[in-house]
Amino acid sequence: MKHDRALALALLIPFALITLYAVWEVGYTGIFAHALDGPAGWQLSADLVVALLMILVWLVADARRIGRNPWPWVLLTLFLGAFGPLFYLLTGNGEYRAAADE
């Protein structure tokens, strides 16, 4: 359980730094402009949407199962991408592990 938090934190720190750099350089909306620049950006954007939707399906089901409100994490994910699931893992106390053990 503590390993999940450590992994989330290890991913969050460099991800936050690269995100801050990107926003500094091109702005929040500029990230989307670059992502939709051509076919490669379209594919990467589509891949990100598919991955985040799959994560959100898990996140909502997991949050409901353990009695957590999923909507703050859903909104965070919709506006800030992977920050939502990473913060969900960081702020939990490992309850999501119980489902795998059952």
Place of tokens 């992977």: 82
- pLDDT digits over 23-70, tens only? 999 998 888 888 888 999 899 999 999 999 999 999 999 999 999 999
State the residue range of the domain holding 50: 2-91
Distance CA 5, CA 13 (A): 12
User: Does some domain include residue 55?
Assistant: yes
* CA 33, chain centre distance (Å): 20
Range 37-71 burial, b when 16+ CB lie within 10 A, else e: eeeeeeeeeeeeeeebeebbeebeebbeeeebebe
Place of tokens 């991955």: 51
Q: What is the pTM of this model?
A: 0.80
User: Does some domain include residue 59?
Assistant: yes
Residue 14 confidence class, pLDDT cut points 50, 70, 90: very high
